Amino acid sequence: MKHFLAIISLVCAFSSIFSAEPIDPGANSPDEAKSKSFSSKKAIEFLDNASLSWQKERKCFACHTNYAYLYARPMVEKNSDAEK
Query: What is the pTM assigned to this prediction?
Result: 0.49
* Domain spans in the chain, listed from the N-terminal domain onward: 50-84
pLDDT band at 1 (very low <50, low <70, confident <90, very high): low
Q: What is the pLDDT of residues 28-83, one digit of tens each?
A: 888 888 888 988 888 888 888 888 887 788 777 767 777 778 877 888 866 665 55
Q: Any alpha helices (H) in 1-84, and if so which ranges? A: 2-15, 40-58, 63-72
Q: Measuring CA to CA, which residue among 80, 72, 21, 79 is closest to residue 48?
A: 72
